[in-house]
Chain A
Amino acid sequence: MAEDFLSDAEIKRKQTKHRINVHSLQLAVAVALLGSWQILADKKILDPFFYGRPSGVMHQLGVWIQHGTSIGSIWVNAWVTLYEATYGFLAGVILGIIFGVFLARNPTAAEIFAPYIKVSNSIPRVVLGSIFVLWLGLGSISKVALAFVLVFFPVFFNAFQGTREADNKLIANARLLGASKRQVTTKIVFPSALSWITASMHVSFGFALIGAIVGEFLGAQRGLGLLIATAQGNFNPNGVYAAMLLIAIMALTAEWLITKLEDRLLKWRPTQVSGTEH
């Protein structure tokens, strides 16, 4: 009997069909959840005064976009939170990498600093937000500082561990090929720690957003955190959800960008076997 492999067009059609199925089921889950919330709230089984409802959230977003919020334009507030988180994130990632790689490459320095790092890591860092507001005032700098502190440690620990795990054989090979200590760090150790570092970046943008928002809770003049605090004070659950939705959009966009960056930086890795194909 002749072999009858599927043609490329047929495989493509199968894959498209599978994708459509998955997406429509995902949509169905969302409709079911939001729909039952809406119905329960409309029938007063869930009190909309405390629990809000999807239509209320959309209405609230519409009001904010059309008329602005009590603390100014929604876009300005979203932008403030976004840049606080972004600056904190960038500072935390850069310094986390520098300190992590440096300490892992200098064991004596690592030994000296180990207890201090342990102590500072064990402090519940969100509490530092109060200190930062006292030190740096109600402006954005105190939020950037809190976001930075939250991002720094996970990146630092991953960079440190990734550097430690760099293959000794590769380091020996590089040295025999003539690499200086500095070249070993930049050309061998850093690339091999990169997959650890990018892994920590995925979680830490979320931490940066938490830092910015908690900072705004503790005292601010603008930002989505302040908007949430204000909505809470006015017994407006829809306002809290609406701000949450905007934050979630930011987090997902950042996650997408970080994944893109990761793919670029780690393009030398073998492609992961994907379970969804065929």
Chain B
Amino acid sequence: MSKGVHVKFSNVSKRFRTPKGDWYQALKELNFEIQPGEFVALVGPTGCGKSTALTLLAGLEQSSIGEVSVDGTAVKDIDIRTGFVFQHDATFPWMSVANNVGAGPKFRGLDPKEYRPLVQKWIAKVGLVGFEKHYPHQLSGGMKKRVALAQALINEPQLLLMDEPFSALDVQTRSIMTDELMTLWETTGSTVLFVTHDLEEAIALADRVIVLTAGPAQVKADFKIELARPRKAREIRFTEEFLKIYQNIWEVLRDEVDIAYQRQLIAPSEK
């Protein structure tokens, strides 16, 4: 299917105006690269700027300093080669499941005759056959997430960005969705940047786990995950290999989590 793209963050810094009027720096001289077809998980303590990195790469925001590039071209605006799965439900409540899944092809001006079979195929892939005419409010959280996945993947994105996509789900649904994402991704070959604060999820899914510092985010460490594919996320987390990797990364991540937690205690109102 689609071929993944190359992603590069070069010296990227980003600051925001806070509601109080002062500046908040989310990213500081962030540098990393993702090879085509690689699945990279970005982990870090809450509020460290992980999501900001994603919105820059998606073209939803611009960096203050430095450059984010895809296949060597700086990202200036939204690029429709990019698919995005949001943390919270972003399905369109007034569209049926079928129309939600078909939204991308429709917006892109494809012929309904052409994409309708594709919609049906993706509804089947995410296990929602029989729910085509349902509206999002009639679905469970996990089902809505499946709609969101199909909605993003039907466009065969060369770059798939996911912002803690499963964090709003209960633990069981979450591990099922992790496995399903794995199966879906393994056939696409797209580049993935997956933001999460769940280290287990990150290791189970990714080829590489990048650990960010407490905000402003910088790359603290970069781990290659040498676990064989195809993986079964639900079982792999009990293997010895997995636990070893987990321990290694947790050693690094723990300090940053502590720093972030201390800061929250001092300034509870700040993000």
> Which residues on A are within 8 Å of B, measured CB to CB?
167, 169-170, 172-180, 183, 187-188, 191-192, 194, 268-270
Contacts and interface: CB of A to CB of B under 8 A. Distances in A.
B132 to A, nearest CB: 14
A177 B103 contact: yes
A178 B94 contact: no
Interface string B92-103: 111100000001
23 contacts: A169-B88, A170-B90, A173-B86, A173-B90, A173-B92, A176-B60, A176-B84, A177-B80, A177-B104, A177-B108, A177-B152, A178-B108, A178-B155, A179-B103, A179-B107, A180-B107, A192-B94, A194-B94, A268-B94, A268-B95, A268-B135, A269-B93, A269-B137
A14 B199 CA distance: 55
Nearest to B135: A268
Q: Identify whether the interface residues of B are mostly helix, strand, loop, or mixed.
A: loop
Contacts of B83: 176
Contacts, number: 60
A38 B92 CA distance: 56
A87 B51 CA distance: 51
Interface of B: 58, 60, 78, 80, 82-84, 86, 88, 90, 92-95, 103-104, 107-108, 135, 137, 151-152, 155
A248 to B, nearest CB: 34
B161 to A, nearest CB: 9
A180 B155 CA distance: 16
Given A176-B80, A176-B82, A176-B83, A268 B107 contact: no
Nearest to A183: B107
Given A173-B86, A176-B80, A194-B94, 15 more contacts: A169-B90, A172-B60, A172-B90, A173-B84, A173-B92, A174-B103, A177-B80, A177-B152, A178-B107, A178-B108, A179-B103, A187-B107, A191-B92, A268-B93, A269-B93
Contacts of B82: 176
A178 B78 CA distance: 9
Nearest to B84: A176
B90 A178 contact: no
Nearest to B136: A268
B137 to A, nearest CB: 4
Contacts of B135: 268
Of B82, B86, B88, most buried by chain A (CB within 10 Å of CB) is B86
A269 B152 CA distance: 23
A263 to B, nearest CB: 14
A174 B93 CA distance: 12
B137 A177 contact: no
B78 to A, nearest CB: 5
B151 A177 contact: yes
The 9 closest A-B pairs by CB, nearest first: A177-B104, A178-B107, A173-B90, A179-B107, A178-B108, A268-B94, A270-B137, A191-B94, A268-B135
B137 A268 contact: yes
Contacts of A170: 90, 92
A142 B94 CA distance: 39
Contact of A176 (B58, B93, B95, B137): B58
